[in-house]
Each structure stands twice: as C-alpha cells, then as structure tokens.
Structure 1
Amino acid sequence: MSTALNCNICFIGGGNMAQALIGGLISRGLPATRITVSDPVAQIRETLQAKDVHVTENNIEAIADADVVVLAVKPQVLASVLTPLKGLLKNKLIVSIVAGAEIATISKFTGTDLVVRVMPNTPALVQTGAHGLFAYPVVDAEKRELASQILAATGLTLWVNEEAQIDVVTAVSGSGPAYFFYMMESMIQAGKNMGLDEKTATALTLQTALGAAQMAITSANSPAELRKNVTSPNGTTQAAIEVFDQTQISQNIQTALVAAQKRSQELAQDLSASAK
C-alpha cells in the first residue's frame, strides 16, 4: 500500500463505487487531501468535500496534478468525458472501472495505452469486493502493483491474462452478487411458505450465507467437498440436493453465466463501435 499512499489520485465520477474506493483508501492511510473528485452532481461533491476530499466539476482541473486517474463514469458518457482530455493524460496511470469499456476504446479517446481495466463488484461498498484486472504489457510491474493497491482497498484483486477474460469475470463476480441475492430471496420465501415469519427466515438465511462463505474462504476443502461433508446419506440435505440435480440447477447456473458473459461482450462491442 506504500506506493499508493504517495500518489495523488483523481476520480472522474464520484458515484457509489468511487466512494467505496475513496473510503477504502482513506481507511488504509491515504490522506484525503491527495484525492480529487470531479463530478457534475452538487450533492456528490458536497458529500465528498465533507470528507476533506478536493472536489470540482472541471475534469481538466481535476487531473492536473494526478498520478492516477480513476474513470468511474457511466459507459454512455465515456466519450463526452474523455474527448476533451485527449493528450492531457500522458504518463498518468488510468484505472477504468467503466463497464464494457475495452482498453482500445479508452486509448482511442485518451491517446494512451497506460490503462488498467477493472471489473469490480458491489460488495466493494462493504470492503469485500472481488476485482478482476487487465492491462497491456506497456503497464509495467510497478504500475500494476499501484493499481492492485488502489483496488485492494475494497477487496480481493486478481489479474487475468487476456482482456476477453474480463467478460468472464463480469459473469462470475461482477454480476455474481445478484445470483446469491436471488438464492437468498428463494430461501427466505421457502422459509415463509413453511411457517417461519419473515424476520426469522431472513436472519437464518443471511447468517447461513455468511457462514457458508466464511467456511469456503477459510477451509482447506473445496466448496464441492464442503457440500459433501454436510450431505448425510438419506438425510435432509441429500433430499434437497436431489431436487437441485433433478431440475438441473447446476447446468442452469452455468448456462446463465454464459449468457452474462455474452451480454458483456455485446456491450463492449457496442461501446467500441460508438468510438469509431
């Protein structure tokens, strides 16, 4: 974290994910005065200014002294945000958390390949995110480590070997929280259907999800082995698992993730086409 603590970091866009990163960085020791955020929304600027972060609505002013520029805007405004900055980002590390924005697209607008593309996920808001990162070889080991330190302020960071794998990261972890929320919804509803009140069904489901995740993270056993360990022959868990197998839950989950990957690819292609 020492490298990141000595940098000036600019965020273009101050939404939830940017605020999660900012909060994580400050909690890790980065002085708030080293952070600048540019955002057109006055309420966002006021919220961040209360944390002693420099704020502005002028992107050119925001990047002036930055060592790292984090792009945290909606994909549909990327072109309008970056076009005025072309030629002004030389030698600055760009970290993009813009969904669907390929490095080639960002490079076209900025004139630099010094870009790290990141697929974050929403648990970053509670410092338990999972982030996939990719960069061209022009981004050296020192700058990769810097990007890792910035993202690690809100969770796990993993580098992938090909940019196409970012679409897989999107399917697995980027969209992944929604899959688990969907499972939680179903379990809560089942508990209610069988007689539990909503508060009890919800508390049991959420704590079970937390406990299962913690066991999977800390155990030397794989999730498959952990599942087998709690599935006694002819027991209650086996009865439930048999229904999952009969209705091809595993296959359906895998098919769903392929659909998410395909949609991520389509969004990237659409954004790339708009840059031409």
Structure 2
Amino acid sequence: MTRVSVIGCGNMGGALLRGLARTDSYHLTAIDLDPDALAAVADVADATTEDAAAAKEADIVVLAVKPDIAEHALADLDLTADQQLVTLAAGLPREFVAERTPASVVRIMPNLAAETGDMAAAATNEGLTDEVRAMLDDAGEFVEVDESLMDVSTAVNGSGPAFAFYLIDAVKRAGIDGGLDPEQAETLAAQTFKGAAETVLRDDRSVDELIDAVCSPNGTTIEGMEVLWDSDADEAVVDAVAAAEERSRELAEAFDDE
C-alpha cells in the first residue's frame, strides 16, 4: 500500500484525497494547519494532523498549498531522496521546489474531478516516476508534458472545469426557460456534457466529425449549431483559456524574481 501525505487540504488537496480513498490502495495522511480543513477530509483520510513532520513517513508527498505559501511550507519539510514530492500549485516552477528538497520532484496540474476519479491532469516529464503515474491513473487521466507547456495546461485542464460549469449552466438555464424544472434541467445538461466528453475520449472520430454525426440535415441540432457558428462563442472560450494561461505565467515570474 502506497503511503501518501497531502499537505494542504483545501479544494484540490481534498479532492485528491477523496479520489484516492475510493481505490483502497493508499494510506492517506492529511496535513493542514486549519482544523476545519482537516475535519472536512477526516472521513477519507487514515490520519489527520497539523504537523508537517508526518510527511516524513510517506512514499509520495503532495504539496497542495497556494503558490504564495509554498516556500514556507517547503521549509517545514524534511524529506529524503527516496521520497517523491508532487507539487500542484499554479505557476510554481519545478526547479524552484527541487532546489529546496532532496526528494524527487514532479510538477502536476490536476483538477477537481479527481474527487470522482475523472481528473484531467498534466505532469512534467522530468521527475515523473511510476509510483506517481499509478497515483494519477487512479485519479483519472493524465498527459506528460514539458514544463514549458504547464502554463497552458493549467489553463486548459486546471481552469477548464470552471469554463465547463459555465457552459453547463447556460444550457441548464435554457432548459428552465423552456419549461423544465431546475433539477431536471441540471441533470440533463450535466449528463449531456459528461456523455459528450466520454464520446470524444473513446471515439476515433474528430470533434468536427462528431458534430456532423449529431447534425441531421434540416434537423434541430443544425439549427442550434448555426447560431453558435455565427457567434463569437468559440473565440470567447479561447480568450478565457488564454487569460488563465497568462495569469499562470505571471505567477511563475514571481518565483523567478526570488
């Protein structure tokens, strides 16, 4: 059983703990100075503590704190070269972390769907071990990228859930306007996005080919797609991803100055 300590049990750290707990393959230790954060994950963690020294017993240590307190958190850690340190703070360069610990360091950008085993994550090629690969597999899907692509990965899969939630809510509101009750509209909208995503991942056809498959001539879907094709909706989404990517770069620059 792999021993995993998660330092920082907020939204992302908590989601990862819950996702890994579903597999029964890990001994999970939750570490946070906030008693409320520890209480929120007490039902899935094997141990909870405010003491960062507990991470010394882990095979994999996940640093899930905000970028601005990462250096302070690293100073409290006493890890060894046999341990693996996974950092997931946006904009936090792998090299910055590696210079402050003897542990093997890999940088990842996961998302909140780790909680249900549906995470999308990017991981740096450098520092990625088979143990960490197995952990990421248990939480969802991941790709290996050069660190130079982590800013755009942060925008696509790290920030991407918020963009997807926004679009789901728009479809939900259209359903409500048409007469569905809110619960019905939310179920249909969310499940439709879930099914569409699974189809993209499992089907050999391109996205354009899948759109064509749904759009029967003179049917209902083609009428809706004509509205989207005539709009700037796709450009707005691209701009949202670009803005998130730029912010990730700005965060990284703060560490370059230290």
TM-score (norm. length: structure 2): 0.88
Shift of 1:226: 1.0
Query: Kindly tell me: are residues 118 and 186 of structure 1, through their superposed partners in 2, closer, same or farther at Cα, counting changes over 3 Å?
Result: same
Shift of 1:51: 4.6
Query: Kindly tell me: are residues 194 and 37 of structure 1, through their superposed partners in 2, closer, same or farther at Cα, counting changes over 3 Å?
Result: closer
Equivalent residue number for residue 82 of structure 1: 74
Within the alignment, does 1:151 sit opposite 2:141 as a pair? no
Distance 2:191 2:213 in 1: 19
Task: Spell out, residue by residue over 1:100-132, the C-alpha distance to the aligned partner (whole angstroms, 9 max, x if none).
Answer: 211122123x24472110100111121111110
SS of structure 2 residue aligned to 1:98: coil
1:122 to 106, 112, 115: 112
Aligned residue identity for 2:12: M
Shift of 1:74: 1.5
Task: Give the CA RMSD over aligned residues.
Answer: 2.3
1:58 to 51, 55, 66: 51
SS of structure 2 residue aligned to 1:40: coil
Q: Tell me how many residue pairs correspond in the alignment.
A: 258
What does residue range 66-145 of structure 1 map to in structure 2 within 5 Å? 66-85=58-77, 88-108=79-99, 110-112=100-102, 114-136=104-126, 139=127, 144-145=129-130
CA contact (8 A) 1:20 1:127 kept: no
SS of structure 1 residue aligned to 2:9: coil
1:212 to 184, 196, 203: 196
Identity between Structure 1 and Structure 2 (%): 33
Query: Kindly tell me: are residues 263 and 191 of structure 1, through their superposed partners in 2, closer, same or farther at Cα, counting changes over 3 Å?
Result: same
Task: Spell out, residue by residue over 1:43-75, the C-alpha distance to the aligned partner (whole angstroms, 9 max, x if none).
Answer: 33345555562332121x212222221101111
Mean Cα displacement is larger for which, 48-57 or 213-222?
A: 48-57
What does residue range 190-205 of structure 1 map to in structure 2 within 5 Å? 190-205=174-189
Distance 2:166 2:9 in 1: 28
Within the alignment, does 1:181 sit opposite 2:176 as a pair? no
Aligned residue identity for 2:120: A
Q: Could you say which structure has the larger radius of gyration?
A: 1
SS of structure 1 residue aligned to 2:76: helix
Instruction: Spell out structure 1 runs of 4+ moving beyond 4 A.
Output: 46-52
What does residue range 165-180 of structure 1 map to in structure 2 within 5 Å? 165-180=149-164
Runs of 5+ unmatched residues, structure 1:
none
Runs of 5+ unmatched residues, structure 2:
none
TM-score (norm. length: structure 1): 0.83
